[in-house]
A and B are shown apart, each in its own frame.
Chain A
Amino acid sequence: MAHTAAGDGTAFRAPPSTLPPTRWHRLSAEWAGDRQVFDGASWRKAMIWVFLLSDTFVFGCFLIGYMTVRMSTSVPWPKTSEVFALEIAGKPWPLLLIAIMTFVLISSSGTMAIAVAFGYRRRRRTTAFLMGLTALLGATFVGMQAFEWTKLILEGVRPWGNPWGAEQFGSAFFMITGFHGTHVTIGVIALLVIIRKVWRGDFDTGRRGFFTSRPGGYENVEIMGLYWHFVDLVWVFIFALFYLW
């Protein structure tokens, strides 16, 4: 079977749209039309959205579960502003570390978004550099999380108990931040894989993936970005519901 040469994913893209321009007409024409509902959206992009929707429900259930046990437990909840304080120059700074972590993660969303833009301009090196920065910020986030875990563990927090109050505090903390941290870590690894491909020019030459034997495209950078922004967004909810409440 002949393979198309273009490695930028043209092969995956639908023929040019013939849909009417106005929004509502377009919407109904898309849903009433044949072949595809989301005109021009590639399969991978549709896939990541579906996956993220499912993952939203996972995090939603984790957070609802946490809020339920927080209400069901009869022992007072530890004061998060005190627990998550850093001692600097003899003074406690509530939520300082978390604030920095949040800042780092949000910044990484920024660098990721710029990387996507440069990707579509086929600026290989700039894209790879910005993604590298994203990965670095992500790794910093995970590192600070590891620091926070260590600090709490040294202070006696365990999944099954802690010195200050309801044991569900430690359970929920380790479970939720652990699950989110795993997401970030997976994201960093995926970033590294894609950086390698961008740097090598795989998306220009149409080199095929090792596992899927399909050519990639700069759209992969955007898909990576969608995942990354999602993980950031989830953090905002964790921050608000776990640390600020």
Chain B
Amino acid sequence: MSDAITGPQDGSALLPEADELYHPHSWWTRYVFSQDAKVIAIQYSGTALAIGFVALILSWLIRLQLGFPGLAAFIGPAEYYQLITMHGMIMVVYLLTAVFLGGFGNYLIPLMLGARDMVFPYLNMLSYWIYLLAVLVLVVSFFAPGGPTGAGWTLYPPQAILAGTPGQEWGIVLMLISLILFIAGFTMGGVNYIVTVLQARAPGMTLMRMPLTIWGIFTATILALLAFPALFVGAVMMLLDRLLGTSFFMPAILEAGQRLRYGGGSPILFQHLFWFFGHPEVYIVALPAFGIVSDLISTHARKNIFGYRMMVWAIVAIGALSFVVWAHHMYVSGMNPYFGFFFATTTLIIAIPTAIKVYNWVLTLWRGDIHLTVPMLFAIAFIVTFLNGGLTGLFLGNVVVDVPLSDTMFVVAHFHMVMGVAPILVIFGGIYHWYPKVTGRMLDARLGQVHFWITFIGAYAIFFPMHYLGLLGVPRRYYETAGLGFVPPSAQSLNAFISLVAFVVGAAQVVFLFNILRSLKHGAPAGGNPWHATTLEWQTPETPPPHGNWGPTLPVVYRWPYDYSVPGAPEDFLPQNQPDPAHAGAVP
């Protein structure tokens, strides 16, 4: 395996690389227009969490209406649609994608691989500023005449651009422009992440010695670079339909008795483009979460990850398969039944590598020395939640089972479990885990426990009952269900309960925010490696790592990242840059 690396290399031979670092000259270029991936990571995460909080508040308002219909007079049906649309879009794209790739990706890729920075720092900086612009355009749409779009986060035409859908004037236009900007900005970051992983690793860092976090982020970035083009094209075409009156997605339509001047387009085409992006998008947020969780579990259970190679191949296989399942979101759109058969089959095949991952996480925990630290709590909670969401996915992946469940609360429960709550739990876990490296101080563990238990139990209390509501037939995206004969009145009490819990869970996030801000000054000093972790980011000469990360010489890697509880080792772990061959752990 490691035949290309013979003996320790002197990292200083590689000094020319330092030549490529951009050296800031002023406060502005150091902290604001910074080209340092670590600063960019913090900028990305801060912006994403800020807009994520907006989406959280929106979910409160949604729940306010669903739990206590009519209580908030300012939420009419149109506002309700705007709320769910902006909530969903912000959560999926502007929060999760940005935090995992722009945030964790920027911070961890260079550090975990032993690089000094991303390979194109200038482009990396642009990536953030364009992302910020995309977020601002999105925010502006809240204040535009007519408000933000209410087309649903899937933005299906024809309704997305027809009068009668809220935000038809400006909202949809700004939404599409914002998405186009987001994709442009992401591409600049994405080429950086890929090339850094492929071409800028430290001596000794083979692909099969990369931490699973990097495998997850790397594969997710590839997916994003190949999937976002479909959304980009869909957005451009819809913009043309809306602004120039083309008919890419618009069939002949009657509106209020009038024949509109559209005709001959294909609404289904948009759905294909959207879901060719949309399904990989699920894995764009899931794969980094998979990777991070693997590292959290291994570190906090002091045990090597079970089946490292299998874990890597599972990530790659899931990534590849995620491009051939997209139409399982379109079972009720009207498709050739053979297509349904095909897409159901591929969907169920994905369950295999996914199940492998879940088994391996559990087997890593099995008889491990489990430390129930806050990151570990979040990691375990992720496994449970993801498993839960995955199992309901098996129901929805089957055409005949999906048809009655489509567009019910069951779907809402499923995707919140699998791609809402689960990745958010990992983001929290990741922040508790890496905050000491970023700031040099620990987050308060007691506040963390409070935050964890309220969030975890609360998330279950919110979303678990939604499965039941869905089975009752409560439809999704409905402003109110009163007067629907098939919905029993008891559903309303359950809705009220869910809403109350949602308010508590939302409020509990303030604890997290408080913890983050307070610990900046008052947290316990963390030292360089508080979790006794093996990966390179914990072995930096200084904490927080300075510009250039490694001082004069790059680290040299001698082993895989999971040498925990190594018999005979002086401590219970061997960092990746520890030469001592006498205690070399498992291959590779």
In the complex, whether A213 has a CB less than 8 A from a CB of chain B is yes
Which residue of the partner chain A has the closest CB to B552? A1
Known: A46-B195, A75-B264, A159-B246. A58 touches B202 (CB 8 A): no
User: Are A159 and B245 in touch, CB under 8 angstroms?
Assistant: yes
Which residues of B in the span 11-48 have a Cβ within 8 Å of any Cβ on A? 13, 16-23
Known: A159-B245, A160-B247, A168-B247. A61 touches B201 (CB 8 A): no
User: Are B22 and A213 in touch, CB under 8 angstroms?
Assistant: yes
In the complex, whether B269 has a CB less than 8 A from a CB of chain A is yes
User: Which residue of the partner chain, among B1, B21, B240, B265, contacts A72 with CB atoms under 8 Å?
Assistant: B265
User: Which residue of the partner chain, among B1, B203, B207, B263, contacts A37 with CB atoms under 8 Å?
Assistant: B207
Complex alpha-carbon distance, A4 and B16, angstroms? 7
User: Are A38 and B19 in touch, CB under 8 angstroms?
Assistant: no
Which residues of A in the span 16-50 have a Cβ within 8 Å of any Cβ on B? 18-19, 29, 31-38, 41, 43, 46-47, 50
User: Are A34 and B122 in touch, CB under 8 angstroms?
Assistant: no
Which residue of the partner chain A has the closest CB to B272? A68
A1 to chain B, nearest CB (A): 5
User: Which residue of the partner chain, among A1, A15, A32, A36, contacts B23 with CB atoms under 8 Å?
Assistant: A1
User: Are B122 and A54 in touch, CB under 8 angstroms?
Assistant: no
User: Which residue of the partner chain, among B5, B202, B265, B273, contacts A61 with CB atoms under 8 Å?
Assistant: B273
User: Which residue of the partner chain, among A2, A10, A38, contacts B198 with CB atoms under 8 Å?
Assistant: A38
User: Are A35 and B205 in touch, CB under 8 angstroms?
Assistant: yes
User: Are B1 and A34 in touch, CB under 8 angstroms?
Assistant: no
With most chain A CB atoms within 10 A of its CB, the pick from B2, B225, B247, B273 is B247
In the complex, whether B100 has a CB less than 8 A from a CB of chain A is no
Collect the chain B residues with CB atoms within 8 Å of residue A167's CB: 246-247, 263-264
User: Are A36 and B201 in touch, CB under 8 angstroms?
Assistant: yes
User: Are A29 and B195 in touch, CB under 8 angstroms?
Assistant: no
Complex alpha-carbon distance, A225 and B13, angstroms? 32
User: Are A51 and B191 in touch, CB under 8 angstroms?
Assistant: yes
User: Are A37 and B199 in touch, CB under 8 angstroms?
Assistant: yes
Which residue of the partner chain A has the closest CB to B204? A34
In the complex, whether B237 has a CB less than 8 A from a CB of chain A is yes
Complex alpha-carbon distance, A75 and B194, angstroms? 45
User: Are B226 and A168 in touch, CB under 8 angstroms?
Assistant: no
Complex alpha-carbon distance, A160 and B240, angstroms? 9
With most chain A CB atoms within 10 A of its CB, the pick from B198, B199, B225, B230 is B199
Known: A160-B261, A212-B122. A57 touches B246 (CB 8 A): no
User: Are B187 and A51 in touch, CB under 8 angstroms?
Assistant: yes
User: Which residue of the partner chain, among A35, A54, A69, A73, contacts B187 with CB atoms under 8 Å?
Assistant: A54
User: Are A160 and B20 in touch, CB under 8 angstroms?
Assistant: no
Which residue of the partner chain A has the closest CB to B225? A54
User: Are B195 and A32 in touch, CB under 8 angstroms?
Assistant: no
Q: How many chain B residues have a CB neighbour from A under 8 Å?
A: 62
In the complex, whether A53 has a CB less than 8 A from a CB of chain B is yes
In the complex, whether B519 has a CB less than 8 A from a CB of chain A is no
Which residue of the partner chain B has the closest CB to A18? B4
In the complex, whether B120 has a CB less than 8 A from a CB of chain A is yes
Complex alpha-carbon distance, A58 and B234, angstroms? 10
Known: A32-B4, A53-B226, A57-B229. A175 touches B236 (CB 8 A): yes
With most chain A CB atoms within 10 A of its CB, the pick from B22, B191, B206, B208 is B191
User: Which residue of the partner chain, among B207, B226, B233, B248, contacts A171 with CB atoms under 8 Å?
Assistant: B248
Collect the chain A residues with CB atoms within 8 Å of residue B265's CB: 69, 72-73, 168
With most chain B CB atoms within 10 A of its CB, the pick from A18, A54, A55, A167 is A54
Complex alpha-carbon distance, A60 and B248, angstroms? 16
User: Are A65 and B233 in touch, CB under 8 angstroms?
Assistant: yes
Collect the chain B residues with CB atoms within 8 Å of residue A31's CB: 207
Interface residue range, chain A:
35 or more
Complex alpha-carbon distance, A212 and B367, angstroms? 51
Which residue of the partner chain A has the closest CB to B266? A72
In the complex, whether A79 has a CB less than 8 A from a CB of chain B is no
In the complex, whether B393 has a CB less than 8 A from a CB of chain A is no
Known: A1-B19, A33-B4. A50 touches B194 (CB 8 A): yes
A94 to chain B, nearest CB (A): 25
In the complex, whether A62 has a CB less than 8 A from a CB of chain B is yes
User: Are A47 and B232 in touch, CB under 8 angstroms?
Assistant: no
Complex alpha-carbon distance, A55 and B187, angstroms? 10
B561 to chain A, nearest CB (A): 14
Complex alpha-carbon distance, A166 and B247, angstroms? 10
Complex alpha-carbon distance, A207 and B261, angstroms? 57
Known: A61-B273, A160-B247. A74 touches B264 (CB 8 A): yes
Binary A-proximity of B179-204 (CB < 8 A = 1, otherwise 0) = 00000000100111011001111111
Complex alpha-carbon distance, A167 and B244, angstroms? 12
Collect the chain B residues with CB atoms within 8 Å of residue A211's CB: 122
User: Are A73 and B264 in touch, CB under 8 angstroms?
Assistant: yes
In the complex, whether A242 has a CB less than 8 A from a CB of chain B is no
In the complex, whether A151 has a CB less than 8 A from a CB of chain B is no
Complex alpha-carbon distance, A46 and B192, angstroms? 10
In the complex, whether A123 has a CB less than 8 A from a CB of chain B is no
User: Are A53 and B225 in touch, CB under 8 angstroms?
Assistant: yes
User: Are B191 and A50 in touch, CB under 8 angstroms?
Assistant: yes
With A34-B205, A73-B265 known, 6 other A-B pairs at CB within 8 A are A34-B204, A35-B199, A47-B119, A57-B230, A72-B265, A160-B245
List the interface of chain B (C-beta within 8 A of A): 1-5, 13, 16-23, 119-122, 187, 190-192, 194-195, 198-209, 225-226, 228-230, 232-234, 236-237, 240, 244-248, 261, 263-266, 269, 272-273, 276, 557
20 pairs, A vs B, C-beta closer than 8 Å: A2-B19, A3-B19, A32-B206, A34-B557, A41-B199, A43-B120, A50-B191, A51-B191, A58-B232, A61-B232, A62-B233, A68-B269, A69-B248, A72-B269, A73-B265, A171-B240, A172-B248, A211-B122, A212-B22, A212-B120
Which 10 residue pairs spanning A and B have beta carbons closest together?
Answer: A33-B4, A73-B264, A57-B229, A171-B246, A61-B233, A72-B266, A160-B245, A58-B229, A54-B225, A43-B119
